[in-house]
Structure 1
Amino acid sequence: MTTPFEPPAPPVRPAPARPGRKLGPIAEELSSAHRAWLGPMRDSYLQSGLTLSELSARVRLAKSKISELLRGIGLYPRWEIICSLSRELKMPYWPLYQLWRQAAFEAHKSREWVERCSEKTALTTSHAAPPLDHRAFRELVESYYGLYAQVFLDDEPRDTAVSDTFDILWLRWNDALASPDTRRFAWNVLRTTVMAKTPHVDGRPAFGWAAFDTVVLQSLTAEADRVDQMAESLELFKAMSRLPDHQLDVTVLRRLCGFAPEDVSDLLGVPLATVRSDERHAVHFLESVICPPETEGNTA
């Protein structure tokens, strides 16, 4: 795989200074699905140069309510409100609606409530095409993103994580293009999205059942051999979960997905030397914590 996708980065413009009180942080207890659309909306607001007072006058919503909405405080907002804000902030409707809808279900809103909220804006939520370069990038990497996500997630959450990744990228595509490397920006979005949906044990990600579907397991026919390999894999996955993020990603892509170092470099948007260095450090760590079977029980 080659991903020579590095469009010219436009100059990054600092967000204009605005009068008034600074917008507070996002509520810590907010779900990952809610954050998925709220983060880009906050960024769009902060980069717009508008004040809360100006935005309030345009959408006819109290300034305090907009402030609460942009912090994720209070009741889950109706789509009509989000739609009005997105229009003023020049955000694409379709990916925002998709992410808002998913977060609504996770907030235990009924399907009837979701449909009722969006019935007046049906035309604005009709499926629209993303930018051409976004579509090209998605076609290039989507299958690889799916293989990575499946190491941690079952089929449905895997598909949702990958779909959410490209919706978030659509909302933040200008930021992605303005970043030092679009591939690295996109990978960070994917990783954040996948890890938000991945069960964690003691703060470290747990591997999904798909992680066991490796070449070595498939090649074993004897049940006893498969059981032994399963036990060894459990030990390996537990050790792998302790790796630093970059080393974990390289190890997953190299050892579980079977990608060549050059492909991993392209996918992550990092130099090949960095991939090789991360892999060496990861192997050294794993060898130090996993005792090879032939040395167990040996005494000097």
Structure 2
Amino acid sequence: MTTSFNAPGPASEPVPVRPGRKLGPIADTVGSFHRAWLEPTRERYLASGRTLRELSPCVPLASSKLSELLRGVGHYPRWEVIHSLSAVLDIPSWPLQRLWKQAALDTGKSRDWVDRSAKRGPLATDQSEPPLEHDALRSRLEENYRRYAEAFLSGEALEAAVEGTFDRLWLSFEHALASPDHRRYAWDILRSTVAAKADYRDQWPVLADAAFDTVALRAETSPEGQAAQLTESLELFTAMSRLPPAQLDVMVLRRVCGFTPDKVSDLLGISLAAVRSDERHAERFLEHTIELPPETGGPTP
């Protein structure tokens, strides 16, 4: 599967100089949810100043196997290994375990393997509270994030994407606060998490399911009007899926979710002028592709 969305990168910062061989990069084959817990784990290791040889007895893994784990190569690790690593590096195990489980399923591990592996290792019983700022941000954004994700996902995939977004944000919240705009940082996590679970057709994300719950469709009461609007919406969403990511985000939030430009600006962490510019460029593309239906119904404040 090819996605056009990019996950936010960690903030650059100096790391302690350590003896021994330098840790190699994360393998290109590592998936989004695997990378979601692997990147903050690597960052905690690099910031600790400890060597793989010093860390090895605490995990326990041979330093060569620990290097493979931190690069995402070899067998997918059991939870008992990751939990030991989280304890040494002071990583909250509650969101880490949930991301570990989702990544295991995404790599092809069965639910039985995941359950057995989790039971053999210590449970993530700390259930520590996330930072107060994270909790406040989640309270403000969760429902809006869910509405965006519903344009691409449903069922378990939808729930996993929303939960995974805030788990990833928890593990990297220091980077979010240090970023130029924490709203933009959080949105990039949402986008990449949703993209990792979305269905694709010809390398473009599928939005067709969202046609059943648009503002315009809900405004139609007659069966004939709903059928006509559904046809228009399916055509519109097929064309929308081919927009660049920034324009696609704006159009989903405006046309599918019904949000005002001001609200879109706040959610994306970009200026109102940038929202309007992206919307204008998107509408020009759509006008040359299909006959763009007029907006129906009032936007959500």
Q: TM-score range by the shorter chain?
A: 0.7 to 0.9
* Contact 2:153–2:198 under 8 Å retained in 1: yes
Question: Residues 204 and 70 from structure 1, CA distance in 2 versus in 1: closer, same or farther, beyond 3 angstroms?
Answer: same
Query: Is 2:284 aligned against 1:284?
Result: yes
Aligned to 1:231: 231
Question: Residues 111 and 18 from structure 1, CA distance in 2 versus in 1: closer, same or farther, beyond 3 angstroms?
Answer: same
Deviates more, 1:238-247 or 1:144-153: 238-247
Aligned to 1:87: 87
Aligned to 1:176: 176
Unpaired segments ≥5 residues, structure 1: 1-10, 294-300
Deviates more, 1:58-67 or 1:247-256: 58-67
Q: Secondary structure at the match of 1:184?
A: helix
Question: Residues 180 and 210 from structure 1, CA distance in 2 versus in 1: closer, same or farther, beyond 3 angstroms?
Answer: same
* Contact 2:151–2:209 under 8 Å retained in 1: yes
* Contact 1:69–1:77 under 8 Å retained in 2: yes
Q: For residues 166-200 of structure 1, what are the alpha-carbon distances to aligned partners after superposition, in whole Å with 9 as ceiling and x for unaligned?
A: 00111111111111111110000000000100011
Q: How does 1:30-109 map to 2 (within 5 A)?
A: 30-109=30-109
Aligned to 2:21: 21
* Contact 2:208–2:237 under 8 Å retained in 1: no
Q: For residues 79-116 of structure 1, what are the alpha-carbon distances to aligned partners after superposition, in whole Å with 9 as ceiling and x for unaligned?
A: 11101111222211100011112223344445554344
Q: What TM-score do you get using the length of structure 1 for normalisation?
A: 0.86
Q: Give the Cα–Cα distance (whole angstroms) in 2 for the partners of residues 49 and 274 of structure 1.
A: 41
Q: Give the Cα–Cα distance (whole angstroms) in 1 for the partners of residues 80 and 212 of structure 2.
A: 45
Aligned to 2:213: 213
Aligned to 2:166: 166
Q: For residues 16-36 of structure 1, what are the alpha-carbon distances to aligned partners after superposition, in whole Å with 9 as ceiling and x for unaligned?
A: 233433323333333333222
CA shift for structure 1 position 158: 1.2
Q: Secondary structure at the match of 1:23?
A: coil
Deviates more, 1:99-108 or 1:11-20: 11-20
Deviates more, 1:115-124 or 1:227-236: 115-124
Deviates more, 1:103-112 or 1:136-145: 103-112
Count of aligned positions: 283
Q: Between the two proteins, what is the percent identity of the paired residues?
A: 57
* Contact 2:211–2:217 under 8 Å retained in 1: no
* Contact 2:211–2:234 under 8 Å retained in 1: no
Aligned to 2:297: none
Question: Residues 289 and 108 from structure 1, CA distance in 2 versus in 1: closer, same or farther, beyond 3 angstroms?
Answer: closer
Question: Residues 203 and 274 from structure 1, CA distance in 2 versus in 1: closer, same or farther, beyond 3 angstroms?
Answer: same
Q: Give the Cα–Cα distance (whole angstroms) in 2 for the partners of residues 145 and 13 of structure 1.
A: 29
Deviates more, 1:241-250 or 1:57-66: 57-66
Q: Secondary structure at the match of 1:74?
A: coil
Q: Give the Cα–Cα distance (whole angstroms) in 2 for the partners of residues 283 and 208 of structure 1.
A: 18
Q: For residues 61-93 of structure 1, what are the alpha-carbon distances to aligned partners after superposition, in whole Å with 9 as ceiling and x for unaligned?
A: 211101111122222211111011112222111
Aligned to 1:118: 118
CA shift for structure 1 position 265: 1.1
Q: Give the Cα–Cα distance (whole angstroms) in 2 for the partners of residues 124 and 160 of structure 1.
A: 18
Aligned residue identity for 2:241: S
CA shift for structure 1 position 118: 3.4
Aligned residue identity for 1:143: E
* Contact 1:33–1:102 under 8 Å retained in 2: yes
CA shift for structure 1 position 153: 0.5
Q: Give the Cα–Cα distance (whole angstroms) in 2 for the partners of residues 30 and 284 of structure 1.
A: 37
Question: Residues 291 and 211 from structure 1, CA distance in 2 versus in 1: closer, same or farther, beyond 3 angstroms?
Answer: closer
Q: Give the Cα–Cα distance (whole angstroms) in 2 for the partners of residues 120 and 100 of structure 1.
A: 15
Question: Which portions of structure 1, spanning 4 or more consecutive aligned residues, are displaced by more than 6 angstroms?
Answer: none
Aligned residue identity for 1:210: A
Q: Give the Cα–Cα distance (whole angstroms) in 1 for the partners of residues 47 and 248 of structure 2.
A: 34
Q: Secondary structure at the match of 2:30?
A: coil
Unpaired segments ≥5 residues, structure 2: 1-10, 294-301
Query: Is 2:280 aligned against 1:275?
Result: no
Q: Give the Cα–Cα distance (whole angstroms) in 2 for the partners of residues 25 and 87 of structure 1.
A: 23
CA shift for structure 1 position 289: 1.8
Question: Residues 292 and 180 from structure 1, CA distance in 2 versus in 1: closer, same or farther, beyond 3 angstroms?
Answer: closer
